[in-house]
Structure 1
């Protein structure tokens, strides 16, 4: 199967089920190491709230079609919940549950005052007109308006959704309230309350972590070669930022395949080719390779920015990278983690590596509540502070407990959420 770009597609249903199982296994391992009481495990292992909605949308031809959507709130102990809304024809409730739980740990690890949530609609947005997507979005926003809000649950863009979709959600909720409610969503266009630097935040945050981790491991920046699977917003941002820092991008791919040059790609030329043709494949001065082959090229850093479950027990022993920075959610299976750790490959886990997006979403939320906006320089400085601080804490726990970075990250995050639940107590 050709792997799709994280910004454009998603995994098969079986991979989504594996993602939920993987997330639960990772939680259980952290809970075991923390000796977490059963009462806390029972609370943290399941979502706190789940809303399933079925709603009609009028198509352009006048036909009425019913769509199904979800909003899952995993845990509210640390604050209102936060998480994206996904539009995809194969999205499932299990995937939504897994991603909501990941958001809880991601927010806790970054020190953000949020719990985790995720939303989804079972739809292929490529098969809808702009008007149909707007009508679907406004009706879905109305259906989930009973659980979202600036102090309750704040959605954001995800696979299949855009800043424009967030603007429609904000406008819909604002019409219900009778006044503008900018902080009800993040990832909005800047002219309606979005934040500078939000679009690049996930990729930029990953490069901040990558630079610090490389220094920790004694790698020289000019010697670092990156292979990036996925060329959507995140993958392309990582590629551009890495080159700006003096690294070489030797492989880059999208849903149709990838390109490779052992001496370094001309990233801007590749991205220009993709914009013109729809794919990186065929870019000049580069060889063609598959998404599977990209994972195994000679490089210091591998960035899976596509689907979950692409690094498995079947290919982990052939991966040559010294560092894997997980831009995608759940790209590495538990079996692969064990193989990579044994081989000395450092995996920067998703809940750390791709936390830049939710971090700047937090900044956007704060700016919206205060109606006081920051410059992109200020946003990036604060993003770097949060990401580097989280990495340093994870490295400390990993060294103290003699565990891999994923286990260390989960231990930190789970403990923080468990502490919040314990401090707040059980109502009534």
Structure 2
């Protein structure tokens, strides 16, 4: 296994892990972890990769659901590495980011929040709390705001059977891991909400972690344009493969994602045969 950063870790922590492992091996092993500083074998675009992948998924989901990207109303729970990058990139596409939140507060502005200004506020104040250009709302209310796209990009189990029926978003992009409980997933499915599951929606991070591992193993590093273009290709192709599977078998994207993954593993097992 090759670890990558997640909640409460960052480039520095990954550098510590690499350094400790390398000390035990008595030589530098850059490929043992990903998400490292650029100077220590990290990849350009890795920090933004999960958010960029979420943006690509949101854009593709809006395309297939017939929602114009320009002016689409987006609510994002979580304004850390994933949420802030997703918000920034969707705003650049012309989306209207109507709600954002972090652990300190939740903010709403029906006319759209200036994402760059909010990011700057967090850089100077650490949290969104006190940001003056939006209305403060109760945190749970963000999940049920009237919007086109809802992106839970914080922690797990924030969409439950208690609030799923009240969600008004037409599309949900699961930027976090496991934000929707199984009971809530059924409610959303029955209501016709288009849910792009975490296994697909937030795969941008692990994809560029793979890119970083490849670059470390090869000792040759790509420019940012190459990283982003290859990420774009993989994410778009994956989305299309999953939606095709879903249409062929009349299932939702979560089930289709698992079907596609299991099919690939099964194919390899058949090709390899059994060895006891």
TM range (shorter): over 0.9
Q: Distance in 2 between matches of 1:282 and 1:308?
A: 26
State yes or no: 1:350 paired with 2:219: no
1:377 maps to which of 222, 225, 246? 225
The alignment's TM-score, normalised by the length of structure 2, stands at 0.96
Aligned to 2:9: 161
Aligned to 2:189: 341
**5+ unaligned residues in a row in structure 2: which ranges?**
none
RMSD between aligned residues: 1.3
How far is 1:291 from its partner?
A: 2.0
User: Any idea what the Cα deviations from partners look like across 1:152-195, whole Å, max 9, x if unmatched?
Assistant: x2111121111111112212222222222111111100001100
Tell me the number of residue pairs that the alignment of Structure 1 and Structure 2 aligns.
276
Q: Distance in 2 between matches of 1:362 and 1:310?
A: 28
How far is 1:422 from its partner?
A: 4.1
The alignment's TM-score, normalised by the length of structure 1, stands at 0.63
State yes or no: 1:234 paired with 2:234: no
2:160 maps to which of 312, 322, 332? 312
> 229-238 vs 214-223, which deviates more?
214-223
**5+ unaligned residues in a row in structure 1: which ranges?**
1-152
2:209 maps to which of 356, 361, 374? 361
Q: Distance in 2 between matches of 1:416 and 1:221?
A: 33
SS of 1:391's partner is: helix
Q: Distance in 1 between matches of 2:265 and 2:105?
A: 40
How far is 1:425 from its partner?
A: 4.2
Largest Rg, 1 or 2: 1
Residues 62-211 of structure 1: matches in 2 within 5 Å? Answer: 153-211=1-59
SS of 2:8's partner is: coil
Q: Distance in 1 between matches of 2:257 and 2:126?
A: 37
> 168-177 vs 396-405, which deviates more?
168-177
State yes or no: 1:420 paired with 2:268: yes
Whether contact under 8 Å (1:269, 1:283) holds in the other structure is: no
State yes or no: 1:406 paired with 2:254: yes
State yes or no: 1:246 paired with 2:97: no
Greater share of helix: 2
